[in-house]
Amino acid sequence: MGSAKQLIGYLMIDSQEDYFRGAALVTDSRGIPSDFRYTEPVRPTKLERILYGNALDIYLREDIILDNLLGAVQTKPVIWILSDEGLIDPVQRISRLPAMVIVGSARSPLEQSGQCEPTGEDGVFMLQADNISAPLRLTVSQENVSKITQFAEFLTAAAEEMELTEPFTRITRALETVAETESEK
């Protein structure tokens, strides 16, 4: 996992009141895209909402959006970085690759770049990815807790050339652009 040429995957599912959509962006460790896939908005009907009940979200996220997105990605990353903790297990099950959530924090920086500390919560760590920013909060599945040192080294190396959470902004803007283009047709 230490090679600078390995790919990082970013995946998010956007759920609004009337639709769900997803996107996956795979970049190199400099943040340069190598693959981008998205789903069209999935709009469940009133009847589907009644028939699926509380299982509708799970069905749409996992069976429809994740299956399609992960199956469409041509360049496989080393790890998937997600925007939602609820996606960790389904993404790992479907892709057979490790997945984690990375979010910023308001904590004071740790002593040195690359330092990774448990928070006391299961599967949650603080990573000082660079020398000046606040540490990042990493959440991994229980099966990947033992690999956190490898992940921290890989992410710290990538953070030398890119901001690790910035690709989510690009995904959001890309989806907005797609929606604008679709509405102009």
- pLDDT digit string, tens, across residues 133-160: 899 999 999 999 999 999 999 999 999 9
At 185, is the pLDDT very low, low, confident or very high (cuts 50, 70, 90)?
A: low
What average pLDDT does this structure show over 89-113?
Answer: 94
What is the C-alpha to C-alpha distance for residues 100 and 123, in angstroms, rounded to an integer?
A: 10
Query: If you average pLDDT over residues 125-135, what whole number do you get?
Result: 92
Which domains, from first to last, does the chain contain? 8-184 (3.30.2170.10)
Distance CA 118, CA 5 (A): 28
pLDDT at res. 5: 67
The confidence score (pLDDT) of residue 4 equals: 42
Output DSSP code: residue 142. Answer: G
With a cut of 80, say whether residue 121 has pLDDT above it. yes
**What CA–CA distances, in Å, run from 177 to 16, 38, 58, 183?**
17, 12, 26, 10
Task: Output the average pLDDT for the chain.
Answer: 92
| pLDDT tops 90 at residue 2 | no
pLDDT at 179: 84
pLDDT digits (tens, 9 = 90+) for 62-98: 999 999 999 999 999 999 999 899 999 999 999 999 9
pLDDT above 90 as % of the chain = 80
| Per-residue pLDDT at 180 | 84
CA 36/CA 171 separation, integer angstroms:
9
Residue range 4-32: average pLDDT?
89
Statement: residue 126 has pLDDT above 50: yes
Residues in contact with 127: Cβ distance below 8 Å, sequence separation at least 6, in sequence order? 114, 115, 116, 135, 136, 138, 152, 155, 156
